[in-house]
Amino acid sequence: MQNKIEVSNFNFYYGAFQALIDLNIPIRARQITALIGPSGCGKSTFLRCLNRMNDTIAGTRAEGQVLLDGEDIYAPHLDVVALRQRIGMVFQRPNPFPQSIYDNVAYGPRVLGMARQGSLDQMVQKSLENASLWGEVRHRLKDSALELNPGQQQRLCIARTIAVQPEVILMDEPCSALDPVATLRVEDLMRELVNDYTIVIVTHNMQQAARASDWTGFFWLGRLVEYGRTETIFSSPKQELTEAYITGRRG
């Protein structure tokens, strides 16, 4: 199985504090990788390292390698904007722009000069279709995105992310603000999207990680304790710490 991203000997610091310690983790292409672990274990920091979103925080420093299709994303002179087009992010709380539904999805392609108006309509429709939202919003594309319910808003954010045709989608607890039905819709959507994209999701919901992912990495105090097939991690983990965490005895 091909690796989309390969992380080797990766360390990350917030000033003097080392948040990530000697990480080695393969992210498989067109698979869903879930990152689990207690709050503060470094999983969200790691997610943000994958598209260099931590660069904007003063005093941070990264060491080691993160290869995207064999290219080091921390190489000097790398175009970070282009990187973030290839590796998009969906956040914990739905954060649509205070604009129309249409403009939310069209925003990225417009800024990146990806499409003219005619094809932009098609791009918006395709992105909304791929985010399983088209049927619900096709007659109200000019309405404000803020009028959508939270589950729809999150799917809109996913549509906005995929509108710029990324290769990898990072999701930071994308369902934590959603009810169970909206959560399942996002999980179903992830399953469809993974045919075309590589997905990495941070979640605190063990059942979600077990249900939705193909691979699971367990983080503890900045280290990757265990990584493997999701079924194996949740039925027969090798490390006692993983066992204790997923059975609710530590964390």
Q: How far is the CB of 194 from another protein (least distance, A)?
A: 23
Q: How far is the CB of 235 from another protein (least distance, A)?
A: 6
Give the per-residue contact string, 189-208, with another protein (x = CB under 8 A; - = no): -----------------xx-
Q: How far is the CB of 237 from another protein (least distance, A)?
A: 5
Task: Answer yes or no whether residue 138 interacts with another protein by CB under 8 A.
Answer: no
Largest CA distance in the chain: 57
Considering only 109, 151, 217, 237, the residue that binds another protein (CB under 8 A) is 237
Considering only 210, 224, 225, 241, the residue that binds another protein (CB under 8 A) is 210
Phi-psi region of 102 (alpha: psi -120 to 50; beta: other; left: phi over 0): alpha
Q: Quick one: 85 or 208, whose CB is closer to another protein?
A: 208
Question: What is the DSSP-derived secondary structure letter of residue 139?
Answer: T
Taking CA atoms, 54 is separated from 8, 62, 74, in Å, by 18, 9, 12
Find residue 36's DSSP bridge partners: 218
Please choose, out of 24-32, 37-45, 123-131, 235-243, the segment that lies near another protein by the rule CB under 8 A.
235-243
3-state secondary structure 35-88: EECCCCCCHHHHHHHCCCHHHHCCCEEEEEEEEECCEECCCCCCCHHHHHHHEE
Q: How far is the CB of 44 from another protein (least distance, A)?
A: 22
> By the criterion CB under 8 A, which residues form the site for another protein?
206-207, 210, 234-237, 242-243, 246-249
